Amino acid sequence: MINVGKIKSTIETELVGKEIRYFQMLSSTNTVAKDYAGKRAKDGTVVVAEIQTQGRGRLNRPWISPKGGVWLSVILRTKLAAEEAPKITLIASVAVARTLHRLWNLKSEVKWPNDVLIGGKKICGILTEASIAGKHVNAIIVGIGINANFDLEDLPYDLWKSTTTLKEVIGKHVNREELICVLLKEFEECFELFKERKIGRLLDEWREMACFLGKRIEVKSFRENWAGKAIDIDESGALIVELDNGERKRVLSGDVTVREI
């Protein structure tokens, strides 16, 4: 079990995680966080769960969330437009990578738009959503899922090849309270840089970890598919792909598959 008292007594943040809502089981921390956001939850409130029964990825894809993982969502009340959400996802991936490095000296890779990988395998997924009230963004919800203390056997077989967990990488259980404290601190620091319009530094850090940049990729988007070379990400978090005819495409959402290792 995650010991919330231990997190509260050791966390070093100003705002993020000062208020924690803990559940042994819920549908999705993002769904519950949205609900709290509609009920005036404080800025920086974090929803944490031991198990999610309907954990979500993008396009409502299932995020399998067994016991032992770190499944949490941060409620951000800073005034942001919904278009800023992709940038927040990039910031959160940098925060996750910094955390894994600081705690266990692990070297992460990132895959656009929302994956953190270790040794080419997904260890973390991020889902940033806007909570809308009427015509306005009421809050931004940043959902972070880290495969921590469980075995691959706890996930469906079709994920085993592409996925890893901290337990597998490090060879033992990790201290999840420590992981959450450091993650929220790193996230708060990265988000501060974003608010100070110093996102350039974070994007550079992200680019250094982006193993797919410069490689041949396929992008499956909502309506279309493209093949080409992954060139860069721009200031808004969009992926720039150079198609075979030389045209440069700015992709706002989609899934990337690397075709050249």
Q: Is-contact 33 52, C-beta < 8 A?
A: no
Residues 96-125 that bind ligand BT5 (CB under 6 A): 114-115, 122, 125
Pairing of the two strands 20-26 and 46-52: parallel
Binding status of residue 63 toward ligand BT5 by CB under 6 A: yes
Q: What is the DSSP string of 117-146?
A: EETTEEEEEEEEEEEEETTEEEEEEEEEEE
Work out which of 22, 23, 43, 57 binds ligand BT5, going by CB under 6 A. 57
Binding status of residue 145 toward ligand BT5 by CB under 6 A: yes
Binding status of residue 127 toward ligand BT5 by CB under 6 A: yes
* Residues in contact with 215: Cβ distance below 8 Å, sequence separation at least 6, in sequence order: 229, 230, 258, 259, 260, 261
Binding status of residue 68 toward ligand BT5 by CB under 6 A: no
Binding status of residue 21 toward ligand BT5 by CB under 6 A: no
Binding mask 183-202 for ligand BT5 (x = CB under 6 A): --------------------
Q: Is-contact 147 126, C-beta < 8 A?
A: no
Binding status of residue 58 toward ligand BT5 by CB under 6 A: yes
Name which of 58 and 249 has its Cβ closer to ligand BT5. Answer: 58
Cα–Cα nearest to 94, from 138, 124, 55:
124
Contact positions toward ligand BT5, by CB under 6 A? 28-30, 52, 55-58, 61-64, 71-73, 114-115, 122, 125-127, 143-145, 147, 155, 159, 163
